[in-house]
Amino acid sequence: SPKYAIFSMAKNHDPESFRGLYDLFDAVIFTQSKSQETQFYTPQELQEIFPGSLVAPDFDTALSILNTQYLIPHTSELSKGTILVTGSFYFCGEVRERFYPKAEIIKHRSEFF
């Protein structure tokens, strides 16, 4: 099944560290974390290093690109394919908050509920 990545990286890491994973995906979308905790590469800076990748200003836009350009046109089921959100822990935490709010994690004392 197809594999897609939505990726954001802080500037305290070397983008080349992603190279080994890059070719495993059918599409990679670079985006920007909203975190103010550290500096991030812009999606365009990462796209220059990884030609053929896509860019999006934020997670919602990246997800929309995957839905409209990759998932919906090729299947009637959105469950076909895997989307990996990776890169910065700050970015992954932002995305997790959308699907698994901190209040629920605390309430259930588990990341899984």
pLDDT given at position 54: 96
pTM, two decimals, is 0.83
pLDDT tens, 50-77?
999 999 999 999 999 988 887 655 555 5
Region label for 109, one of left (φ > 0), alpha (ψ between -120 and 50) or beta (otherwise)? left
pLDDT bracket for residue 35 (50, 70, 90): confident
